[in-house]
Amino acid sequence: MTHAEFENLLLLADRLIASSEPRKTEYGRGYQCGIKFHFDDARTELLPDHYSIADVARRNGSRDVHAYICGYRDGCKGLKPEGAC
């Protein structure tokens, strides 16, 4: 993934975060964290487990932990953001 592709995906996540729909917002927040993880270290076998991601979501004040986790995982896999699970 190039730096330009990375920046484009962050912008897409920013649009989701700016959404007035809470699930999309939380998905976007999770996606941003996940895509940063993917860009820094794309080894998918090292993905954090479900419970670790849920703990991060709760510490960040997530209103919808499930949407945050879905976004995080999609970001870690380098997928384009979908907006919700």
Let me know if residue 85 belongs to a domain.
no
Give, in degrees to the nearest 5, the angle at Cα 68 between 64 and 74. 150
Give which of 54, 61, 59 is closest to 25, Cα–Cα: 61
Domain count across the chain: 1
Domain that holds residue 25: 3-76
Let me know if residue 71 belongs to a domain.
yes
pTM: 0.82
Tell me the average pLDDT across 47-61.
Answer: 77
Tell me the average pLDDT across 22-44.
Answer: 86
Whether the pLDDT of residue 38 is over 60: the answer is yes
Confidence band for 64, pLDDT divided at 50, 70 and 90:
confident
Let me know if residue 19 belongs to a domain.
yes
Tell me the average pLDDT across 62-76.
Answer: 87
Let me know if residue 81 belongs to a domain.
no
Confidence band for 42, pLDDT divided at 50, 70 and 90:
low
Let me know if residue 83 belongs to a domain.
no
The pLDDT score that the predictor gives to residue 84 is 67
Let me know if residue 53 belongs to a domain.
yes
Q: Spell out the alpha helix ranges (H) of the chain.
A: 3-17, 22-40, 50-59, 65-76
